[in-house]
Structure 1
Amino acid sequence: MKNLKLIVAVLLIAVFPFGCMVGPKYVKPEQPKPESFLYGDHTTDTTASVRMIKWSTLFNDPVLIGLIEKGIQNNFDLQIAISRLEQAKANLGVAKADLYPAFQYSGQVNTAETFMQPNSAFANMSWELDFWGKYRHQSKAFQAELLASDEARKVVLSDVISNIAISYFELRDFDNQLEITIHTLETRQKAYDIINERFKSGYVAELDKVQIEQQVAIAEANIPAIKRQITALENSISILIGKVPGPIERGKTNSELLIMTTFPTSVPSALLENRPDVKAAEFLYQSANERIGVAQAMRYPSFNIAALAGFTSVMVGDLFDSGSYLQNAGAGVTGPIFNFGKNKRRVDVNRQIAIERKLTFQRAYLTAISEVENSLQNVAMYKEEWAARNRQVIAAQTNYDLSNARYYNGYVSYLEVLDAQRSLFEAQLSLSQLTQKQLSSMIQLYKALGGGWF
């Protein structure tokens, strides 16, 4: 009965203080809240979320969608992020376990009766009471880190999808540039054959022959350079989708690809609900804030209870007799007296870490707004630039056709033809690059707005 009362008293001590917690409570930092994006569409519904637009609906190319799906399954960076997420889950489980009692068993058998340690078989329980909230703060810290790890996984996922898409657009751009260059080479080679025959017949000067010969060589030299870029991009995409570097399947050309051109641009403060990098930064700040409480709790005494029940006997044969039964329960307290300010400095360190994480979060928020503004501007400007370049290509083609006809009718020198052809070639390449940049800018805007990658 006496032991029972002691156990009841210890349990009451264990339950009573669980309302005590030291350490700061988390308060979300105040952020600047612009009413709208400077370059956004102010007529769109700001309550709509780009998160509701699934990434697979952005593209009308099954080949590109297939490449992205392979990347989601096989990308090494994404698998590493998932592994880190599992580590965070395990750490949270360890932290939660510290809130509860630990149970152990032990046993010992000796053949010599005179041995100093008797035969025994015991079960025991030990429990450090979370009087000051040390383990609760620690559990909350790991919970926040788990959420941050999940958001970090989403960041990697969005990077993988957007990088595959943009690399694919660049690959199709170089495919188009190669096609333009080969066509230009064929045109220049035909012109060279004609002018060379006319030179042999004495109808044109050697200068015309040398000039066109130079342009043929320039076009020939561009082809290997473009092929090197194609190989490098194919290998880069192969790594992104987790396969051995090699050729990449092609689908639609950039000019055939269609991407959604308008996204809901909600108010900047709503980025906190969409951008995984911003959310991850906030969760890490929450974790650091909880660890201040852990450090502060370590400055106070810790309370422990223990209980033991089992059998002990000098003779092995008498080990489980009723007279060998033993039980005990107790409570203890330990705490620091003087350690030259170590515990106080630990609190200071964790407080400064929290300040650093808070500043990182605030910077991430402003960076997110900046990236959206840049992406909105890029989408608008690339659209205008593409329209102008397209008019340039049409005009350059007409100029080349007219110059070519004037040359063969003897009105101008071949130098004018070469200049018109060079302008056409450069305009076609610029238009091809702009088509790629226009597509890429839409993906970058979708990513900046925290689109539905998940």
Structure 2
Amino acid sequence: MQFKIKTITILCSAAAALLSTGCAVGPDYERPKLAVPDAYRGAAMLPGWKQAQPSESALKGDWWKLYGDEELDKLITNVEINNQNVAQYVQRYRAALADLSSAEASLFPVVTANGSVGRSKSSGAISNRSSLQGSVSWTPDIWGRLARQKQANRASAEASLADLANATLSAQATLARSYLRLRVLDKSVSLYDETIRVYENNLRTITNKYQAGTAVKTDVTQAAQSLASARSTREGQKLDRARLEHAIAVLIGQAPETFSIPARDGALPKVPAVPAAIPSALLERRPDVASAERTMASANESIGIAIAGYFPDLTLTASGGYSKNSLHNLISADNLIWSLGASAAGTILDFGKTGAAVDKARANYERTVAAYRQTVLEALQDVEDCLAASASLAEQIVHTQAAFEAASETSRVLHNQYDEGMIDYTDVSSRDASRIAAQQNLLSLYSSSLENSVTLIESLGGGWQGLEAK
């Protein structure tokens, strides 16, 4: 028994010595440095835009509440629950967590147990055999291959979590843009309803004048044309609204035929003032940037995993149990059996296969570095585009509002002149068309401004607060 204890002690001491001198081969990860501007250039064009400080947290939580629309709030809360694209990313994240758990388990010994009972006959003799045994097998992570695999899987899981956040934000932003566009269409349809009522009254009045001999036939046809054109445009807008309604239904995981949003002729949501932000915040708060960075970290760990292929693996095994010709008194010192062992296996010659694997891992890492830098550049572009659009749309709305007011006044004057018999109805019809065009253009610009504000919020990372700091 002393010999057994001494042998076990020697093997355990040898294993501890091997682990204490072990090292993780391959490069340690460091995030590449990027030249990020201190401020957005487009911010200078927006009155009231405040430049944030690095310690400030910009958009928080439920960013869609900036629009003050309860219906929108209810719809967006269903995205995380019922959107099927988001559901796919949830399962991808769960799979990534399972891979991480598997990699963590690889660092520990594998314990197995088995028992058997048998009876056999040979050369006229009948014999029994019973056994109960257990074994332990462990591959110490001397070269850090398993530890790097765990870190690679952890980074991949974090990238998957960021992908989930990005998919959720994208679905929420798409729903918000669709909903706001739908509400603008409600307003536009309502204005066309009012216009059509005016045109119907004009047509009746002009028809009566024609029958009384105080108007010409072309006045009647011009009025009828204006009325038919307005009705056609209104039907087209109703179709656009129906399509938006169907798109929103799919975004919240419902069949279009079972979903509807009641039309509403009320005040449109105001374009919100987006909270302050700084360019460097995108590196932490945009989920697509975070995903690219974590993918890059995972690829870096793969280099060390590939380099570990140059070195041998050591496996320690131990087994023990009891064996006897019968079950009676099976578990006793006389029936004890055991074994201890160690083995090493490594590649001596593979004609460059391992070297090729290392080169491939390095190339893949450089690819992810380029992808990360490109993602950051595109993120900065997205914000600058939205800031420039915000400033431009605000100016366009001011000028278009002035054009609409001027067209409305011109239309009023021409209607009075026509009633007094001073001009033909062709002039009135032309000015009415200009007024309606200016009014619809104003609504279109306001819709674009609302949608651009959503895109700006999305470009800044929405309400996502980033991955947990390690």
Could you tell me which of 77, 80, 83 is aligned with 2:88?
80
Measured against aligned partners, the alpha-carbon deviations of 1:350-402 in whole angstroms (never above 9, x if no partner) come to 22111111111010111111111111111111111111111222111111111
CA distance in 2, matches of 1:265, 1:409: 59
- Residue-by-residue CA offset, 1:25-63 (whole Å, 9 max, x unaligned): 112112122121111147533332314464154121111
Q: Is 2:214 aligned against 1:203?
A: yes
Deviations 1:56-79 (A, max 9, x none): 541211111111112222212222
Partner of 2:275: helix, strand, or coil? coil
Q: Residue 46 of structure 1 aligns with which residue? A: 53
1:23–1:293 contact (8 Å) kept in structure 2: yes
1:138 maps to 149
- Aligned partner (choices 6, 27, 30) of residue 30 of structure 2: 27
Task: Provide the residue aligned with 2:418 in structure 1.
Answer: 407
Q: What residue number does 1:99 align with?
A: 107
Aligned 1:287-366 pairs, distance under 5 A = 287-317=298-328, 319-366=330-377
- 8 A Cα contact 2:39 2:51, kept in partner: no
Which amino acid is 1:165 matched to? A
Deviation at 1:105?
A: 0.7
Aligned position for 1:16: 17
Structure 2 CA distance for aligned equivalents of residues 326 and 251 of structure 1: 82
Task: Confirm whether residue 36 of structure 1 aligns to residue 39 of structure 2.
Answer: yes
| Aligned counterparts of 2:464 and 2:140: Cα–Cα separation in 1 | 43
Cα 1:99/1:116, change in 2 over 3 Å: farther
One-letter amino acid of the counterpart of residue 294, structure 1: I
| Inter-partner Cα distance in structure 2 for 1:388 and 1:311 | 94
Per-residue deviation, 1:249: 3.2
Letter in 2 for 1:11: C
Residue 42 of structure 2 aligns to a residue whose secondary structure is coil
2:238 equivalent in structure 1: 227
Q: Runs of 5+ in structure 1 lacking a partner? A: none
Task: Give me the TM-score of the superposition, normalised by structure 2.
Answer: 0.91
1:260 alignment partner AA: P
Deviates more, 1:182-191 or 1:140-149: 182-191
What does 1:363-374 correspond to in 2, within 5 Å?
363-374=374-385
Counterpart-to-counterpart distance in 1, 2:267 and 2:17: 71
Residues 1:110 and 2:114 aligned together: no
The match for 1:264 among 268, 276, 297 is 276
Cα drift, residue 247 of structure 1: 4.2
TM-score where L is the length of structure 1: 0.94
Q: CA offset at residue 302 of structure 1?
A: 0.3
Distance 1:394 1:440 in 2: 24
Q: Which runs of 5+ in 2 are unaligned?
A: 466-470
Aligned length: 453
Q: CA RMSD in A?
A: 2.1
Change over 3 Å in CA distance of 1:392–1:15 after alignment to 2: farther
CA distances 1:261-304 after superposition (whole Å, capped 9, x unpaired): 142121x2221121111011000000011011111112210000
Which range moves more in the overlay, 372-381 or 112-121?
Answer: 112-121
Matched with 2:187 is: 176
Q: Secondary structure in 2 aligned to 1:129?
A: coil
